[in-house]
Amino acid sequence: MASISFTQPQFLWAFVSLPILVAVHYLTFNYAKSRAFEFSNFQALVRVSKGFKVQKNILLLVIRIITLISIILAISGMTFWYKGEGSDFDFILAIDASSSMLTEDYEPNRLESAKETALFFIDNVPAETKIGVLSFAGTSFIKQNLIDDRFLIKQAIKGMEAEQVGGTDLGDAIVTGTNMLFNSDKGRAVVLLTDGRSNVGIFLDDALEYVKKSHVLVHAVGVGTEEGGFIQNVTAALKLDEESLKKISSETGGLYFIAENKEKLKEAFDQISRSTAKLVSINLSVILLLVALGLSLLDWSLINTSFKRIP
């Protein structure tokens, strides 16, 4: 996946100056032409310049438009993002702690299995990796901000229990996880462990737009069996909502896993810990300024050499 972002998008308003540039260009060109017609031997001048003036006019205009566009994009902080390879990551573990995660299609239930395999994940990532932890239900709860202290991270996970706030808000979970990674200068990824049944809070499409603009990967791990399971006072089987999780992972460039048992859950975490796919950025400002400088020199050279003789 590839995309373009701007660190200073307010300067994009400068594009309204393009019509002004075109108008000024033609006004100055016509003024220069009228001055040239004051020369003697008018018929000879017209005969020589008839085809040349059009070519000259358009070429200079194109050069100046590209120069201005390059300058505007440069000061707007144009940045190119693409999915590349890397080994340094920081992670947020976003663990669903809603009542549906108490379903017993895992032993003893989905939540405890998710916590157990999250601890396995922590033991299998490099020591310098920073990890944050949040749980979520109808809203999100930050259990541990981004840190590399393994003891504190594990304590945050071990102490996690089902939240009393009703519902499941996947949108808020990935937005909160993204915000927790704000100060990270490494590859950034949220690992979402959930049964994927979002029914309250932020619309998923709105949350995904925010995450994509922040250039954070979301690895979605579906916790639940195909048959589903039951919790107290609920007669219908609670099954995994794969469609939402596939959408989250595909749109953010992350991986998707369906973990039908603890072993599959561990395999998913193992693949995430070994994944080298990350979002890489290239700031194009310097390149664009060099392009603008080169075109400005070309413009100056043309109007002071070959284009100077005939307007």
Q: In sequence order, what are the beta bridge partners of 90?
A: 188
Distance CA 221, CA 271 (A): 11
Q: What is the mean pLDDT of each run of 10 residues along the chain (311 residues)?
A: 80 90 78 54 51 67 90 89 72 91 82 90 89 94 95 94 86 96 90 84 92 92 70 55 88 88 85 75 87 90 68 47
Give all domains of the chain, ordered by start, each with its CATH number. Answer: 10-78+284-308 (no CATH), 84-281 (3.40.50.410)
Q: How far apart are CA 282 and CA 301, in angstroms?
A: 31
Q: Can you read off the two tokens belonging to residue 221?
A: 């791990």
- Joined together, the tokens standing for residue 36 give 């040239």
Contact in structure between 138 and 169 (CB atoms under 8 Å): yes
Report pLDDT for 193. 92
Is residue 222 within 8 Å of residue 229, measured between CB atoms?
Answer: no
Question: What is the DSSP secondary structure assignment for residue 127, as one 8-state letter?
Answer: T
The pLDDT of residue 89 is: 87
Q: Roughly how many angstroms between the first and final C-alpha of the chain, as a whole number?
A: 48
pLDDT at 31: 60
Q: CA 250: distance to chain centroid?
A: 13
Three-state secondary-structure class, residue 160 = coil
Q: Does the pTM of the predicted model rise above 0.75?
A: no
Residue 246 phi/psi, 5-degree rounding, is: -65, -40
Q: Regarding beta strands 78-85 and 277-283, do their DSSP bridges make them parallel or antiparallel, or are they unpaired? A: antiparallel
Residue 302 is predicted with a pLDDT of 81
The whole-number pLDDT of residue 284 equals 87
**Residue-level pLDDT at 197:** 73
Q: What is the DSSP letter of 105?
A: T
